[in-house]
Structure 1
């Protein structure tokens, strides 16, 4: 039974008038309302399809954004965790030898449980050649591990053994002494890390740490540790210098729980190892414990498959919509328009109905309205009592609470009888004068929107958003007050404001970090160029050194046969001196090449090209590669001549490598200098087979290389020098039987041409 709302003075009762039952009246012209109903139905169908179209578009956009956001979080988390292994590798590089206590202290400072949730531990696996296995086992037993063996036992070409693993307790004790080389998936990742010198992530494995309870898929990450001071330019050198690997095991469910931080938001995420979605490759399923799939819960769920590359390993991520996804969306629907259309249609229908029926029909409607009023009263009380939001009825004149629903009682912490008759200033922190002003404004303007603070029964003060408006109940003017707690939203807005205030500082820090990376790339480029130059010096000096050796042999023979005269000795010494002078001038040429220019200045394009060619001529001749120059008329370029020569040397080196790689019998490089208007164009072409179209757009990216031991910074720095420092362009295309690089720079204002060899 519905109850009346008691008031401070008087009470409100909704009175329902009843009538005696009347004989039902059947309208004789009901067909006249059919056209109105048909039009209404057609309009409703149109609005419904519009609503559905908007909703589906919104849901798809939100679905893809959520998936991209989660993929980024996973990538960032894995990258951050693998950086631990690089730091652990630095521990070996800094100290040469790491003790068990030193390893424990290092890992303990990382505080894995607090800062790296989801990681099982950080360890070191020692590389053991077969002939050193017995000595290794004996050494470990002398450390106090009397039962130590390398597991599994048996004859193999080489071994590895986990000798450090922290925390050294619980599940991790099972991995102590395990040979990860004995299992194919782990061995493959170990070999990749060893040969590349970079971090490698394994495929799907079952970790040794697993028990029979809560078995999860596992992966491992490895970083190689090499002997200090070793040369690591080739795969063979890296294999010879290998000491072992720092590594970390991960249980995928634990790792993803840490990475996602509960942000799946109505999505199912499945992660597969590799580029397949077969069940045997499944690494993680956020709904693994559910008895039903997303497809069984939703007839046509949204789905997205994306690829994630981590340290050279590819994962396939499949996102699928769950029933809760749509419920979490904040979507401004068109239901208001739909309801309005229904009301208008019903009014029109009622109008036509009343026009085509008799007074008896009006009596029937009155009877039905009476019943509807009674039902509305009951529905009103039910909605008021069981609404999920806090609702108060307030007397604006007295400033007291007249009635409160159950949600309001629970929110404020008072019983209903305590709230009834309570002055508003008890729960509202505004002064009484401001409260009455708000009440008056809400009454005069029919509605008011207020942000204020409310005090709960326990003394806690909360931020609230209040909707006030007048309502007539029982012939009495009251205010309804709908209260929403916005404390958490206000805190989030304050945090966002503070975040925006620090945005400039974070941008400056990011710019500084980018400048640091650019400086590192420049250093690496210079070191790579120096390494190339050292090779050229070796080729330049080989012939003079051979000649000096012949001179010394001739002097020795002349002495043995008593033919050594002072004139002959002077002639040989003079010839040797000329050769030494030539070698000295070569050193001067290389030193001048690496001398930096502080300011841009005009330089001769022909001279820069010839100097670069002279530096590589011996190396090219030794590899039977011809260089053909088509220089034409010289021109001045404003810029840095040494950096320009460095670009040419990079292009020459790439051309030579391509010719040698493809075993071209008659290798050839063309260098052409032309002028077009105000531009100087230098073209370097070869017959080394060209560049694959699939990678043509990526060759200027930093660290991208197709060479086995390439740094991937030569062409990147060349493009930076030409386009950033000299405001020109560097482009590439395939032409004929090889690649063609074109450097385009502007002529200086001093004149278009200069004497050749100036």
Structure 2
């Protein structure tokens, strides 16, 4: 195999694990350099190939290095400001997936690639790339992408694409970098070192070229995205600046209205402000806030009540943010007019100077006579949790001087102000972008405000770390507002060109890797074949020299051997002949001449032999044709020619039978004629003897059948005798009762008590007794009626009928008989023969109980099913059967009873096994014997009882 680490010391192993960790981390950084924004997917992940190569070369013990390298490569991106321990879960899981993938891929390669240490044959290279690449790389992609889904780092809709991207990157990484690892460090070194120039060098150059082209294409894509982003961002900034300028112009025009008249009514303000706000969309409201000294507060509130015909007071917000009557202070800046009124009515009467941020902006506007903006504030009329700002422009008494700060403070009449909701301002300013608005993420902050309240507005998804980011400082109302705009790379054009270049290039590198391995593998195979054949030629030349010398020695030995062979053939006790391919007979041995009488002068050729040995023309044609066809078909194949039972006419006119065999020796045919004449005579005699033996066997079988018939008859007669005894027991009680009935009739007659009614009653009793005896006769006749056909019968019914036949005999001998039915079943066979078996077993049980003088005899019968079989057990308490004779109890004429025939149990076993196709067995059980009858089922009906 590849691996080299079985005998390394602990320190060397630790050093190797550290090197694997470094190699994995460095290759991971290389893979990240090849990542393509916006998703930072990559078509090649070198660590997958480095990890597989490390395990193949060193063994499974380097897996900790793979895990650690993967962990270090992923932990930096995982620590994203969230909790420390949860952030480590993702790199830990990805690292485990990387180690598992390397381990499983190594196992698959070692298990299914025959020569994985060399990768020379095409089949092995294909299996290596298939198992280590597409198959093995399913592991980490499945584990890692599933973990990303569970941690909320990706969505279910993007699961398939993320899995595919991960799998493709790992697969191509294996196809490129695993061969490089093997070329640099694989064993056997002779094979892999040869491939450094032919595989590693072209592969590295191609990889570098593809990487350079990829970087160029990616950089071009990034520049295009930057240009498109800056174009949209510049348009947005200019439009926002223009929007701010429109607000200042609108407030200047509103101030001009107040400068032109000493008294502006609510109606005049409404008409002018409505027209103004209709042209400036970003303003939520425009207001007139009157400067009211404390000395004029009461008069002002009274005037406002009379003018609006409603309750009016100057108000401020309390600590809870609720509006309340303003406290006493030196002066107030009260919202007097507001447009539009309906949406902004809560702001009427509000003292703008009661809140520090507003007061600061008011004082700056008053003292500078310039537009002044507040820091980010929550508007009084705000309902949607949107930050806002107020733009104040002071209005002075035109009759009073206002050149200095002190003069402006004395000449102040009030303020015109615009209410900005910053979110609405952004929407209005950027509405011209249409669908492209969603490409920009804006954040507007007041750089002069406290850090806690800097942000006016921020789009969801705005990122300070985005590579697409611009910022611009906007001055409005004496405050610096910082506008930042970020964008996502994927919104400014997909980098499909870079992806196609990377994917196509890396696929080409992977295919090039496989092609170079196949090419060098074939080169190695050719070199091995050349070396093998060169060595074979050298060995063959040496062998040829040896063969020439051996042949010369062999030829000399053959000449001697041929003479010896001819001598052996000539003196052989079996007839031999030799002829050449032209049909000329060259030799006949002495035994041939002796057996058949022909010499070479008589049969110089095969044609002469055919005519003399087979004078019958038809037989000669048959024998010669078969022989010549066999010779033609077997020549050159080294097979023997045979022809058996050929009749040959000898020179003296006698006939012999021979089995002929022929074998080629060079261009000659050696023919052996084995004389089997005497064997045929003996075979005929044996055939006659066999026929006589077969006749004797048939006669003995017939006698055996007669003997079996006699045994059956004896068994039936024995059963008949038992039945007659049972009938005697059955009839004794009704006969006694019948005698008593007749005696009663006689007494009634003698005492003149014989009435018609009494006579009929006694006759009825007598008929019942006679009917009972008749039923016994029917049962007896049914038992001995022969069955002509097999039939299906109930085991329960057959047992109950047999019990009825022996019940009287058992009762007279104080023997109880019990039937337990676990399952009733139907049996196929001859019911009377089955009953004969039962009666025989009942009789044996009764005899055993009586012989041992058991005071309370008991016979138990049980029916149960066992799968497709029914089992009937008959057990007694008669003491059992001696172990010495238990094995012989079913043999014919063997009996344990002094007057027994020894045929009852034998015939019972024959009936069960041959007629019913079942089994009859016996064993000693508890205090008696138990016979078991097992019969195949037809079908069964469940029934339980006793």
Note whether the superposition's TM-score is higher than 0.5: no
Larger Rg: 2
Q: Which has the higher contact order (CA 8 A, sep 6+)?
A: 1
Q: Could you state the TM-score of these two structures normalised by the residue count of structure 2?
A: 0.33
The structure in which a higher percent of residues are helix is: 2
